[in-house]
Amino acid sequence: MKRPDNRIRPSEITPPEVYFDRRQMMALGLASLAAGGIAGRRALAAEAGNASTILAARYKAARNTKLSIASTPNTYEAITTYNNFYEFGTDKSDPSQNAREFRTTPWNVEIGGECEVKGSFTLEDILKPVTFEERVYRLRCVEAWSMVIPWVGFPLADLIKRFKPTSKAKHVEFTTLLDRQQMPGQRYRVLDWPYVEGLRMDEAMHPLTFMVVGVYGRILPNQNGAPLRLVTPWKYGFKNIKSIVRIRFVEKQPLNSWQVAAPNEYGYYANVNPKVDHPRWSQATERRIGGSLFAQRSATEMFNGYAEQVASLYAGMDLTRNF
């Protein structure tokens, strides 16, 4: 697989504050032209005001030191230019190029299945009651590379409790937006779109499981899964579904997209286990993205270094079969 050159010249880097200000101004400007009239401009101003309130809360998120690792995070540039997001292309550099005009406003999330509270909720509905925090997590990919990322978000458990799942809810199923016009990768049968993922309920309720809305204290870039994505730091990156539009509480274990595409390579649990090799490469060692290509690789840790917190979830399970 072709990999981009990680050495980025300073002259090529757009400062984050310039990038986001420009993107938000362009979005508001185009929407204003489409809406037209005083009423349209007032509606846009109100919407922008709500978004600004939410963003202000994100920026003030305090770091959760108890659930953060001590490693130095990768740079903002590395995190936002080296991505797996097949909806925008299969090459690591494709998402940052192809997701620039992806529209994340307005955004609705449908809640359904085995729960008492159901319906379609705006992103503002989802975010208003939560308390944002920052967590520094390691993200691990099956291609044996890793990043350390300062995510901004809130515990998935806090969201789940609001929708009151019933006793029949054994798993949580997530679905990504399906929009072939905006997501050029969905025009190709790389996967059976839309992208679907799932967690067992105890995994979903674990304190480490995180719903992400930002990175480095800023709004989450499109290529990183805006406006709402999942992060489960003890699992491989493909488990961390992006641009979520549907959450369902289900009794039976859902099939995730990579299980459907390649069941001999990708399982439901996707736990980092260095003793289980991917059929096409070893997972016993890893390389930190952003470092030298010639740097010594480090040994992969069980559960991506989170064994103390999560190993009990899988007590008695054969993790070579339940991969």
So what's the pLDDT on residue 293? 72
Q: Determine, yes or no, domain membership for 3.
A: no
Provide the pLDDT for residue 120.
98
Both 49 and 166 in one domain: the answer is no
Q: Across residues 187-192, what is the average pLDDT?
A: 96
pLDDT at 58: 67
Q: What is the mean pLDDT of residues 81-86?
A: 96
**With bands split at pLDDT 50, 70 and 90, how would you rate the model's confidence at 55?**
low
197-220 mean pLDDT:
96
Quick one: 197 and 85 in the same domain? Answer: yes
Using the predicted structure, report yes or no on whether residue 23 has a pLDDT greater than 90: no
Tokens encoding 152: 């901004």
Q: Is residue 124 part of a domain?
A: yes
Burial of 12 (0-12, 13-18, 19+ CB in 10 A): exposed
Say whether both 202 and 271 belong to one domain.
yes
Residues 149 and 284 in one domain: yes
**Residue 192 within any structural domain of the chain:** yes
Judged against a pLDDT cut of 50, whether residue 7 lies above it is answered with no
- pTM score, whole prediction: 0.84
Band (pLDDT 50/70/90 cuts) for residue 56 is low
* CATH number where 283 lies: 3.90.420.10
Segment 317-322 long-range contacts (CB within 8 Å, at least 24 positions apart): 319/269, 319/271, 319/273, 319/275, 319/276, 320/273, 320/275, 320/276, 322/267, 322/268, 322/269
Is the same domain home to 24 and 106?
no
Q: Tokens standing for 4?
A: 């981009």
Task: Return the pLDDT at 253.
Answer: 98
* Domain residue limits at 23: 9-60
Confidence of residue 31 (pLDDT cuts 50, 70, 90): very low
In a domain, 1, yes or no: no
Q: Are residues 218 and 139 in the same domain?
A: yes
Q: What percent of the chain has pLDDT over 70?
A: 82
Structural domain contains residue 173: yes
Longest dimension (CA), the chain: 64
Same-domain pairing of 41 and 79: no
- What pLDDT, on a 0 to 100 scale, did the predictor assign at position 189? 95
Contact 287, 145 (CB under 8 A): yes
Is residue 114 predicted with pLDDT exceeding 90? yes
| Angstrom distance (rounded) from CA 314 to CA 306 | 13
323 located within any domain = no
Same domain, 239 and 292: yes
Partner residues linked to 109 by β-bridges: 121
User: Same domain for 166 and 258?
Assistant: yes
Same domain, 25 and 141: no
Residues 185 and 202 in one domain: yes
Instruction: Please report whether residue 2 resides in a domain.
Output: no
Instruction: Identify whether 320 is part of a domain.
Output: no
**Which of these, 268, 232, 245, 84, lies nearest to 176 by C-alpha position?**
245
Give yes or no: residues 41 and 167 share one domain.
Answer: no
What is the number of structural domains in the chain? 2
Q: Could you tell me the pLDDT band of residue 99, with boundaries at 50, 70 and 90?
A: very high
